[in-house]
Amino acid sequence: DAKTTQPTSMDCAEGRAANLPCNHSTISGNEYVYWYRQIHSQGPQYIIHGLKNNETNEMASLIITEDRKSSTLILPHATLRDTAVYYCIVREGDNNDMRFGAGTRLTVKP
Amino acid sequence: EPEVTQTPSHQVTQMGQEVILRCVPISNHLYFYWYRQILGQKVEFLVSFYNNEISEKSEIFDDQFSVERPDGSNFTLKIRSTKLEDSAMYFCARTVDSSYNSPLHFGNGTRLTVT
């Protein structure tokens, strides 16, 4: 059963911020939110993860709502190379496996 | 640059043949995973491997699949008697470190084509 809900597709203009939403209303207290992306048929690429605080790294920012039932991945200045399928995954730690859904296909347009 | 190297990048085999897919993690971590992705479908979990034992496996991982780490470095996925429906991308992954919430890092996969 899917633990997350994401829009099927989104478009974004090059140079603008891309905001990708994810709903995870059944998340439990010890589950983290992870974001990955997949470009063409390459291996999924890790982007960022968090538990309840907002997180930022060199690739993106992760905003998690206070009730933790949803989150948003922000790519601050999208480029054409950010065109990919983005996956939001909730996972309990302890080195459990990641379970992928269908993700959001983000298309960055010039 | 992925931190996991997979070989071969593309494998073509005939139905009924055995194939071995290999994964070479760069650093010596304990948790490894195999996933597959049939063309146009989602990435599916197959099996996780911890400390030289299967930790968890999905319903896809039936008796025709096996995993091992024969030389303490390479991590292999064997498909004993391939079927047409085994054609897919196969991804190996490992945890970044031993922390509780360590994300997985994936290789760029092996494309298996069964004819």
Whether B87 has a pLDDT exceeding 80, the answer reads yes
pLDDT of residue A95: 63
Using an 8 Å CB-CB cutoff, list chain B residues near A49: 101, 103
Distance CA A71, CA A57 (A): 16
Angle CA A101–A90–B100, to nearest 5: 135
Mean pLDDT of chain A: 93
**B91–A41 C-beta distance less than 8 A:** no
* pLDDT tier, B80 (very low <50, low <70, confident <90, very high otherwise): very high
Q: Using CB atoms, pick whichever of B37, B42, B108 lies closest to residue A101.
A: B42
pLDDT of residue A7: 98
**A102–B42 C-beta distance less than 8 A:** yes
- Residue pair A49/A57 in contact (Cβ under 8 Å)? The answer is no
How close A13 gets to chain B, by Cα (Å)? Answer: 25
pLDDT of residue B2: 55
**B105–A46 C-beta distance less than 8 A:** yes
Distance CA B100, CA B93 (A): 16
* A106 DSSP β-pair partners: A10, A84
* pLDDT tier, B26 (very low <50, low <70, confident <90, very high otherwise): low
Distance CA A69, CA A104 (A): 18
Distance CA A35, CA A90 (A): 9
Place of tokens 């292999």: B76
**pLDDT tens column, A60-89:** 999 999 999 999 999 999 999 999 999 999
Whether A29 has a pLDDT exceeding 90, the answer reads no
**Mean per-residue pLDDT for A82-103?**
87
Q: Using CB atoms, pick whichever of A44, A49, A87 lies closest to residue B101.
A: A49
**Mean per-residue pLDDT for A25-54?**
93
User: DSSP label at A5?
Assistant: B
Phi, psi for residue A104 in degrees, rounded to 5:
-115, 125
